[in-house]
Structure 1
Amino acid sequence: MRILNAIYVSAVVIYAGLMIISALALMGSVPVWPLLATLLFACCLLAALRWDWLLPIGLLGLIAAAVVNGFSMYGHINPPHLLARLAVSMVLLGLWAVKRKGNPVS
């Protein structure tokens, strides 16, 4: 269980970090509010390491922000990008569910 927890924590930190970096890199090229949404929901992922109920909220928010950013930047959704986001979200949700099952109160 310790290894699984380490994988979960690492994956959450890496994904949230990448989302924060991508939002900061896009400053000035897209409207501010989708970038703020990306930053907010990436912070939800990081906060989920303490309050685990925030993980699904953060993942759902990041997917929504990706859709909005796609429309803002290109006028349409990029399906491969969205599928990759969904795949990462499913993996993180799976790890989250296993972690919660092993430690239901957190």
Structure 2
Amino acid sequence: MRHKPPLTAARLAQIWDEHPSPIVLELLWEIHRLRATVSRAQQIRCLIGKGGGSVPSTVWSCFERELDAEPCLTDPNTPRQQALVDGIGRRTRDSEK
């Protein structure tokens, strides 16, 4: 499944303006947290890309802590996700016959 294009900060602000509710606020805070992780990854990429290949240990440690805390890396599949995985596996097996 292809992803939709990423949402810009302006679009996220527009969503909040159109739907200022507690659940939207909760989702926007999660998006903010994920964007901060992407920003840290960009910082590391820039440090590595300068040819030195060295990342300050404080930056790397912070990034590792952020990744270690990511639920998407440790959460079990939801029933909906598992059904999708099972369906893909079933189609793969069927196409191999």
State the TM-score bracket (shorter-chain normalisation). 0.3 to 0.5
Higher helix share: 1
**TM-score between the two structures when normalised by the length of structure 2:** 0.40
Larger radius of gyration: 2
Higher RCO, 1 vs 2 (CA within 8 Å, ≥6 residues apart): 1
**TM-score between the two structures when normalised by the length of structure 1:** 0.37
